[in-house]
Amino acid sequence: MPAALRSTAGYLAGFASLFLLWHVCSAWLIPSVLFPTPGKVLLKAIELVEDGTLWEQTSASLARIAAGFCLGSLLGIPIGLAIGSFPIVRRLLEPYTEFLRFIPATALITVAVIWFGIGETSKIFLITYTTIFIVIINTAAGVSAVAPNKIRAARSLGASSSQVFFHVALPATVPYILTGMRMAMANSFVTIIAAELVAANNGLGKMIWDSRMYMLVDQIFVALLVLGLMGFVADRLFRWGIYAFAGRFSPVT
């Protein structure tokens, strides 16, 4: 059996066992009013798809995640490259990075609402904040991890500083950049849900909050499953990119 087919079969078996365990727990161990069965959740999901609610809430959260994640990555990558490449930049910016990255984005939700209101800007700011420092640190680590003998070999062949950067250092750093983006994406999902729980007019976080108020537990589980599915797909894409680049340029564990 091909490796890709074995991997797919393993994932399907894992998901099947998860849903089987879920069904057993909800049918015989935990009251269904607190832990609805997979079938009940599926029926609720179909209902939400048919009336457009699920797509409306999901697209709102995805748009915020995409905007903040892309902005944070676009800012974090060049800053990380600069920190990893130039000691003077590292000494200047590393203290700010190390200080701010230990302040979680969820702790800044109230500040973001005060600064930007409950509109889209506050959510995008929080996602950008939770993304940028992870990308900076991983990118800087990737530049620092480039094998010196590769750089010396390129210089001995007459490569200029810009050629060494674009043809040696940057390609070798790409797996680290993608790893940072992968980690930042997971944090983005956590942050956006927390932000939408506190201040939002729509989104999956708002959907979970409203469902809690009316004890619509099956609707909460629909939102949780959608979050897990979106996160799983995004993570698989990043893993594929990491392995592709790591196989071409440098080993990354």
- Domain assignments of the chain as residue spans, ordered by start: 1-34, 36-248
Structure confidence at residue 59 (pLDDT) = 93
User: Pick from 227, 85, 92: which is nearest to 166 by CA?
Assistant: 85
Please, which residues have CB within 8 angstroms of residue 119's CB and are 6 or more apart in sequence?
none
Structure confidence at residue 61 (pLDDT) = 92
Helix, coil or strand: residue 74: helix
Q: pLDDT tens, 203-214? A: 898 899 888 888
Structure confidence at residue 5 (pLDDT) = 65
The CATH number for 36-248, chosen from 3.10.129.10, 3.40.50.300, 1.10.1060.10, 1.10.3720.10, is: 1.10.3720.10
| CA-angle at 217, arms to 212 and 218, nearest 5° | 140
Residue 158 Ramachandran class (φ > 0 left, ψ -120 to 50 alpha, else beta): left
Q: Is the pTM of this model over 0.75?
A: yes
Where does the pLDDT of residue 251 fall: very low under 50, low under 70, confident under 90, or very high at 90 and above? very low
Structure confidence at residue 252 (pLDDT) = 40
Q: pLDDT tens, 87-122? A: 899 999 988 898 998 998 888 988 998 898 888 899
User: Pick from 175, 168, 163: which is nearest to 151 by CA?
Assistant: 168
